[in-house]
Homo-oligomer: A and B are copies of this chain.
Amino acid sequence: MRYLGQEEARALDVELFSKYQFSVEQLMELAGLSVAVAVARCFPARTHPRVLTVCGPGNNGGDGLVAARHLAHFGYESTVWCARRPLSPLHERLLAQCVQSGVREESTPPPTPRDSYDHIVDALFGFSFRPPVREELRPALRLLIESDLPTSSVDIPSGWDVEHGPPMDIADALQPALLVSLSAPKLCARPELIGNALHFLGGRFVPPELAARMQLALPSYPEQEQVVRLA
């Protein structure tokens, strides 16, 4: 299996949406579903019923909104917090779908997440993130880092360099309990960087021809599963 750099990850995305003619909403639906499935495998609703999904302004946040909706269908008390306003039209629609599917919305960041939640989904930054963190999103990242709750990161642990991994200052480094790589893992998901985090791959939609051409050497998904466990 190969780990992608930021430019390769971008190129893969561009191809899916141009040459392969997928729409963002289609792939976001499958990506978000696979995140919800991996979360439910690792932190079942039975033991971790209250889940907060922290959503950023980009596609990673969109994946998070989709995941939060599927988590509600899976029986969780699912809550979302959108860390930046105003929302894009796509995020507005995804949030409306959430709320109307029984997901609760927090309008302000919960001061002590541990009092109200059992688990956090980090959908703040994706593979296009470049440090430094913008001022307005720092409170969201701090919440993730300081929550003291098991955290599942969507594609990239937020605040990490997509290629080089966690920031030097350990106090600024989110340590996810679960990482769900989407399409193909990025360089920061290498075992020596994620340590003993659980690691799943989701987003089972990469055409075999594209995977071969980009030499992704993706692992085989079992049967009809939307996720495959990597570590």
Please list the residues of chain A having a beta carbon within 8 angstroms of any beta carbon in chain B: 19-23, 25-26, 29-30, 33, 36-37, 40-41, 73-74, 93, 96-97, 100-102, 204-205, 207-210, 221, 223-224
Tell whether, in the assembled complex, residue A23 and residue B25 are in contact, meaning their CB atoms are under 8 Å apart: yes
Name the residue on B nearest A24 (C-beta): B25
- 4 tightest CB-CB pairs across the interface, nearest first? A101-B207, A37-B224, A21-B93, A21-B96
State the copy count for this chain.
2
Q: Which of B23, B33, B40, B102 contacts A30 (CB 8 A)?
A: B33
Name the residue on B nearest A39 (C-beta): B224
In the complex where A21-B96, A25-B25, A100-B20 touch, is A74 in contact with B207 (Cβ < 8 A)? no
Distance (whole angstroms) from the CB of A92 to the closest CB of chain B: 8
Distance (whole angstroms) from the CB of A21 to the closest CB of chain B: 5
5 new A-B contacts, CB < 8 A, other than A20-B101, A74-B223, are A21-B96, A21-B97, A25-B25, A101-B207, A101-B208
Tell whether, in the assembled complex, residue B207 and residue A102 are in contact, meaning their CB atoms are under 8 Å apart: yes
Distance (whole angstroms) from the CB of A195 to the closest CB of chain B: 26
CB-defined A-B contacts under 8 Å, sample of 28: A20-B96, A20-B97, A20-B101, A21-B93, A21-B96, A21-B97, A21-B100, A22-B97, A23-B25, A23-B93, A25-B26, A26-B29, A29-B29, A29-B30, A30-B33, A36-B224, A37-B224, A40-B224, A41-B224, A73-B204, A73-B205, A73-B221, A74-B223, A100-B209, A100-B210, A101-B207, A101-B208, A102-B208
Distance (whole angstroms) from the CB of A40 to the closest CB of chain B: 5
Distance (whole angstroms) from the CB of A180 to the closest CB of chain B: 13
Q: Specify which chain B residues have a CB less than 8 angstroms from the CB of A30 in the assembled complex.
A: 29, 33
**Complex CA distance for A96 and B156, rounded to whole angstroms:** 30
- Among A40, A97, A102, A210, find the residue whose CB has the most chain B CB atoms closer than 10 A: A97
Tell whether, in the assembled complex, residue A74 and residue B224 are in contact, meaning their CB atoms are under 8 Å apart: yes
Q: Specify which chain B residues have a CB less than 8 angstroms from the CB of A23 in the assembled complex.
A: 25, 93
Tell whether, in the assembled complex, residue B26 and residue A209 are in contact, meaning their CB atoms are under 8 Å apart: no
**Complex CA distance for A83 and B40, rounded to whole angstroms:** 40
Distance (whole angstroms) from the CB of A184 to the closest CB of chain B: 15
